[in-house]
Copies of this chain bind each other. A is one copy, B any other.
Amino acid sequence: MSGRHPGSAVTGRVVEDYVKTIYTHTEWQEEPIGPSALAERLGLAASSVTEMVNKLAAQGLVSHVRYGTITLTPAGRTLALRMVRRHRLIETWLVESFGYSWDEVHDEAEVLEHTLSDRLLEAIDEQLGHPVHDPHGDAIPSADGVVMRPAAVMLRDAAEGFVGTVVRISDHSSTLLRYFASERIVLDARVQVISSRPLMLRVGDIDIQLGEEAAASIWLSLG
């Protein structure tokens, strides 16, 4: 659009989604994301992603060397944190104020994170009492971009016999989320790793066997 002078901060649904997705990929995993994984997450063709990433790079939100991975610049990270904050605050709000269950909030938050005004969002934050994590246990960055995160291990990597409380459950799959809830695997639940292969988890006095995806979806408190 011609009405945008060069160098101005260009946002918009699409930019916001790319940047947020790039950020969340590295939130619980070290290696930066590549075009095909990003395309996968966004539900787009790889060619579309390459194209868009070039535009993001031109706007200084992302750095990307040809045939390499994609990382956020400080400006990109700031925008990403802003979007993550919005998403998680909205999820929390839907659960607290409207009785959504935590496997239902994702889609609605995905839309609203782009459309609520700052004013409304801060009013919601206020009403909620400035929560620091959402119903899944994911950290809610503060308005100025500070993230508080508890030390945690992924269940998959926890040693046999390890005892801890659940501090995070990935919201990647609604099905899994519902399953966990039905098995009493919820935030702050005390659990014990009985065995690693196959993975057996004791919750209360019940032992549950979990698969690969599940084991990569739960984080336990460390210390």
Which residues of A come within 8 Å of B, CB atoms? 94, 98-99, 107-108, 111-112, 114-117, 119-120, 123
Contact = CB atoms under 8 A, between A and B. Distances in A.
A124 to B, nearest CB: 8
A117 B108 CA distance: 7
Contact of A120 (B108, B117, B120, B123): B108
Contacts of A94: 120
Contact of A112 (B99, B115, B119, B123): B115
Contacts of A119: 108
B116 A112 contact: yes
A115 B120 contact: no
Nearest to A98: B123
A117 B109 CA distance: 10
A74 to B, nearest CB: 29
Contacts of A123: 98-99
Contacts of A111: 115, 117
14 contacts: A94-B120, A98-B120, A98-B123, A99-B123, A107-B117, A108-B117, A108-B119, A108-B120, A111-B115, A111-B117, A112-B115, A112-B116, A114-B115, A115-B115
A173 to B, nearest CB: 20
Contacts of A108: 117, 119-120
Nearest to A107: B117
Contacts of A114: 115
A98 B117 CA distance: 12
A94 B116 CA distance: 12
Contacts of A112: 115-116
A107 B115 CA distance: 11
A6 to B, nearest CB: 25
Contacts of A115: 111-112, 114-115
A105 to B, nearest CB: 10
A87 to B, nearest CB: 14
Contacts of A117: 107-108, 111
